[in-house]
Structure formats: structure tokens, C-alpha cells
């Protein structure tokens, strides 16, 4: 099975580096709308047979153009939502307290999955709900499934479940809005990451992604350095 994990398009909360994880979440920016509209062309080479999204507005809006172009429905699943920020909700990701969010996610990548986000979930809970959606897609016979989700959730699940990745990779690799992580495998046999936002993951086959997905639409749309560090703001979380 081929699995494409897509981070949602840009939101106003991303621009302000806010930990926006609660339902329904922020709306897409104008750039975000263009990023979502570009996904069908960016994934034109993929034989997509199923499209899933979290319940938040930004993921459903990102998935809609791709699903429409392929004549598919968007299957909304709660398991794909972002890591719940809990007591940290709407704090700046780069603030001293806000940095607890990604520090906790990285600790989960390193194996401390029983640790609980302040006022939120444990890593075990996040991985279990994400696993359930991946298993559903696999059991449904999807040859290539697109899961439109969130930065921290994608980075966590991929770092833990892909056999060729590890915690340092997940901690250091951000994921821009509409960035795509491509994996192959199955829940029973395990997963191998092939590419990350268009860049080849060492030791795998050729890069598949080209075009707008996985990078800004143009030089004028690029963000500066991420003040929140790995995972904060547009480059990696929520």
C-alpha cells in the first residue's frame, strides 16, 4: 500500500505561530487556498483511491480540491486530528511555555509515549488513534491513500512507525504546509518512508513528488526562520 501523509494548507494561526489544535480551528489564508487548489496537479502522478482528513476546517478544506478532482469523497476521521495542545492551546509555539508542545512530541518519538501533554493526550493515545485510520485505509483496499492531517501528528507517527526513520529525524525535519510524506508498506509488515516533502529519504527509491506540494508556491511566499524551532509554526506543527 502507498500512503501519502499531507500537512494541511496554511492558516492564519500558522502565520502567527499559534498552537491551534482545538475544533474547528483556524481558516485557511489566501495562500492556503492556493496551496489546496494546487494539490490535484501536484499529486497528478499518484493513483489516489481514497482521501481522508481530520475533522478540523483546515484539513477538510485542503482535501476538498483533491477529492473533487478524483471523484472521491473526503472521509473525515477524528484519528487524524492534531496532537491536542491541552493547556497550551493558542500559545505562541516559540514562547517558553509553548515550546513544551514540541518537547513533549519529541519525547514521544524517543519512546516516552506514556508522557502526557499538559492537559492533553499521551503519545500512546495519539499513535493509537492515528493507527486506526491507517488500518482502516489498508483494510479498505486502498492502493494509494491520502491522509490530510497536521504537522506534529504526521511527524510523530512517521518517526515512530517508519522503520527507516528515527526520533532525531522526526525532531529535526519540519513539514511545510501541504508538504507530503510518502510511505509504502502495511500495518502488518511495517512502513518505509520514501520521500519527505519532495526530498528523497536515503536508501529508498526515486523521489515521486514534484511541484507545489511540499514547498511554498513561490519565493515571495517563503517564511523566514521559524522562531519556534523544530515543529513550531508553518514549518512543522499544527
- Report pLDDT for 210: 37
Considering the candidates 27, 46, 82, 219, report the single residue annotated as catalytic: 82
Considering the candidates 8, 46, 150, 209, report the single residue annotated as catalytic: 8
- Report pLDDT for 146: 98
The pair phi, psi for residue 96, each rounded to 5°, is -55, -45
Condensed to tens digits (0 to 9), the pLDDT of residues 202-220 reads 754 433 333 333 333 333 3
Is 41 an active-site residue?
Answer: no
Residue 208, domain CATH: 3.40.50.1240
- Report pLDDT for 211: 35
CA 124 to chain centre: 18
Quickly count: other Cβ atoms within 10 Å of residue 224's Cβ.
5
Residue at 214 is within a domain: yes
Residue at 198 is within a domain: yes
Domain that residue 176 falls in: 2-82+129-235
Kindly tell me the burial class for residue 55, based on how many C-beta atoms sit within 10 Å of its own C-beta (0-12, 13-18, 19 or more).
middle
Could you give the 3-state DSSP secondary structure of residue 171? Answer: helix
CA dihedral 95, 80, 154, 65 (to 10 degrees): -100
How many domains, the chain? 1
* Residue ranges for the chain with pLDDT beneath 70: 203-236
- Report pLDDT for 237: 76
- Report pLDDT for 142: 85
Is 8 an active-site residue?
Answer: yes
Q: Residues in the chain, how many?
A: 238
Residue at 89 is within a domain: no
Amino acid at each position: 500500500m502507498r500512503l501519502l501523509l499531507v500537512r494541511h494548507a496554511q492558516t492564519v494561526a500558522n502565520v502567527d505561530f499559534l498552537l491551534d489544535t482545538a475544533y474547528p480551528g483556524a481558516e485557511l489564508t489566501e495562500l492556503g487556498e492556493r496551496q489546496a487548489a494546487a494539490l490535484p496537479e501536484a499529486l497528478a502522478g499518484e493513483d489516489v483511491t481514497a482521501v481522508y482528513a481530520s475533522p478540523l476546517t483546515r484539513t477538510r478544506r485542503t482535501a476538498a480540491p483533491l477529492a473533487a478532482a478524483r471523484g472521491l469523497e473526503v472521509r473525515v476521521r477524528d484519528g487524524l486530528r492534531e496532537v491536542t495542545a491541552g493547556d497550551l492551546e493558542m500559545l505562541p509555539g516559540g514562547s517558553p511555555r509553548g515550546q513544551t508542545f514540541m518537547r513533549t512530541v519529541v519525547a514521544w518519538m524517543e519512546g516516552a509515549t506514556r508522557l502526557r501533554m499538559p492537559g492533553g493526550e499521551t503519545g500512546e493515545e495519539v499513535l493509537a488513534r492515528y493507527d486506526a485510520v491507517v488500518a482502516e485505509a489498508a483494510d479498505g483496499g486502498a492502493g494509494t491513500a491520502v491522509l490530510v492531517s497536521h504537522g506534529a501528528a504526521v511527524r510523530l507517527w512517521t518517526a515512530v512507525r517508519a522503520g527507516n526513520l528515527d526520533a532525531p529525524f522526526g525532531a529535526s525535519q519540519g513539514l511545510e504546509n501541504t508538504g507530503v510524506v510518502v510511505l509504502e508498506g502495511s500495518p502488518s509488515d511495517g512502513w518505509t518512508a520514501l520521500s519527505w516533502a519532495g526530498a528523497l529519504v536515503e536508501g529508498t527509491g526515486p523521489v515521486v513528488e514534484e511541484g507545489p506540494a511540499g514547498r511554498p508556491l513561490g519565493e515571495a511566499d517563503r517564511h523566514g526562520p521559524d522562531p519556534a524551532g523544530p515543529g513550531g509554526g508553518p514549518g512543522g506543527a499544527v
